[in-house]
């Protein structure tokens, strides 16, 4: 496309967007901007963002990390401010619901965390496109385009190296059925990363019949189910209270091992994964700036900043911290199996019922 023609198209699209108030509602405008593609997309987003001047996001990223991301984003787009606050998923959803359905103009554009199920149910999530997502492997893409993963947590089998040597550690879930592990296995009850999540993983990966057969056999191993946080359960392995933990967070194992703890972990193929993601709100007041921020948080510079939070970057071209490399499935040629929030919500009741049937 010749420069003059390209510029004319950018102007035409911007005129259509900024004059849409009399003919279309805000959701239609946000949808138009969120679905932009092609060579003019960046120019259109930047021109619109200059008019907006700010992007507002809320989520689970800590204050120091937020400041680092904001400074890097501002270096790239000096005319934009980044505002927002740290909120857990339920808090972020309640804030978005109040803003998006209230009389006052909404402030937030993006929610980062794990609130998609509630946002989708309330009709607040807007699908979007980004060339950064299009370039990712299929297992990193959300089919409906309602969110973009910006970091991952992976889970495996953790074990106490003072009690188990690496040569005998279980490398598959079937290995756990060996009689030598009877009474030595623990998992956590937590609904976000514990036993119900693992049971959903088994059911989705193997099918209902095979998963049920496996759970029945596993229950014969006298697996202990603990309440409290998954980290507290992992601490039980660290202290020797338990030999093995199913569903241990690999980034936590990596951090503890780097500090000298008697811990290690094995990964199962495909590796169970949970993602943290960003969602665009349907009534985002600054949609151009929001889309620029989505592109930014998925790109190399932001991903290298985010890895300082001791999670695994979603961009496969960015390595995790060195201490976490031994537990990065991509660097070991393993696939990942992401159990997303919608799947967990749909399957939680049945998976919890199976947990009670076999392990209570």
Do 3-150+275-322 and 154-273+326-359 share a fold?
yes
Rounded to two decimals, the pTM is: 0.86
Nearest Cα residue to 112 out of 91, 98, 92: 92
For residues 280 and 294, is the Cβ–Cβ distance under 8 A?
yes
| Domain assignments of the chain as residue spans, ordered by start | 3-150+275-322, 154-273+326-359
Taking the C-alpha atoms of residue 226 and residue 331, their distance in angstroms, rounded to an integer, is: 32
At 28 the pLDDT is 53
Mean pLDDT, contiguous 10-residue spans, the chain (360 residues): 47 48 53 95 97 92 88 97 79 77 82 85 92 83 87 95 96 97 94 88 97 97 93 95 96 94 96 93 95 96 88 90 92 91 92 93
Residue with tokens 């979603």: 314
At 24 the pLDDT is 38
Nearest Cα residue to 153 out of 81, 293, 247, 21: 247
Does the domain spanning 154-273+326-359 belong to CATH 3.40.50.720?
no
Taking the C-alpha atoms of residue 262 and residue 247, their distance in angstroms, rounded to an integer, is: 18
Which fold, 3-150+275-322?
D-Maltodextrin-Binding Protein; domain 2 (3.40.190)
Task: Tell me how far CA of residue 151 lies from CA of 127, 251, 261, in angstroms.
Answer: 19, 12, 25
């Amino acid at each position: 496309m010749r420069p003059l023609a390209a510029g004319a198209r950018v102007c035409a699209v911007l005129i259509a967007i900024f004059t849409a108030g009399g003919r279309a509602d805000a959701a239609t405008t946000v949808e138009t901007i969120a679905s932009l593609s092609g060579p003019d997309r960046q120019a259109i987003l930047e021109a619109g963002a200059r008019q907006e001047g700010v992007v507002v996001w809320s989520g689970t990223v800590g204050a120091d990390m937020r400041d680092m991301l904001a400074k890097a984003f501002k270096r790239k787009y000096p005319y934009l401010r980044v505002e927002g606050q740290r909120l857990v998923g339920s808090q972020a959803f309640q804030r978005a619901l109040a803003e998006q359905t209230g009389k006052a103009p909404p402030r937030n554009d993006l929610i980062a965390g794990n609130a998609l199920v509630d946002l989708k149910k309330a009709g607040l999530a807007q699908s979007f496109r980004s060339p950064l997502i299009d370039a990712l492997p299929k297992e990193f893409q959300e089919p409906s385009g309602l969110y973009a993963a910006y970091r991952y947590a992976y889970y495996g089998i953790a074990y106490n190296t003072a009690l188990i040597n690496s040569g005998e550690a279980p490398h598959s879930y079937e290995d756990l059925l060996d009689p030598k592990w009877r009474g030595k296995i623990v998992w956590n009850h937590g609904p976000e990363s514990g036993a119900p999540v693992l049971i959903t993983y088994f059911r989705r990966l193997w099918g209902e019949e095979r998963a049920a057969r496996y759970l029945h056999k596993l229950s014969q191993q006298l697996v202990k189910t603990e309440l409290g946080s998954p980290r507290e359960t992992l601490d039980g392995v660290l202290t020797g209270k338990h030999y093995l933990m199913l569903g241990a967070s690999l980034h936590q194992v990596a951090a503890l091992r780097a500090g000298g703890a008697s811990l290690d972990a094995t990964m199962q193929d495909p590796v169970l994964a949970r993602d943290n993601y960003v969602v665009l709100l349907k009534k985002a007041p600054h949609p151009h700036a929001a889309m620029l921020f989505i592109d930014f948080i998925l790109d190399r510079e932001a991903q290298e900043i985010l890895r300082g939070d001791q999670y695994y970057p979603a961009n496969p071209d960015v390595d995790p911290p060195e201490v976490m490399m031994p537990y990065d499935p991509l660097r070991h040629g393993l696939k990942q199996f992401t159990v997303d929030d919608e799947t967990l919500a749909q399957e939680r009741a049945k998976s919890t019922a199976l947990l009670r049937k076999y392990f209570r």
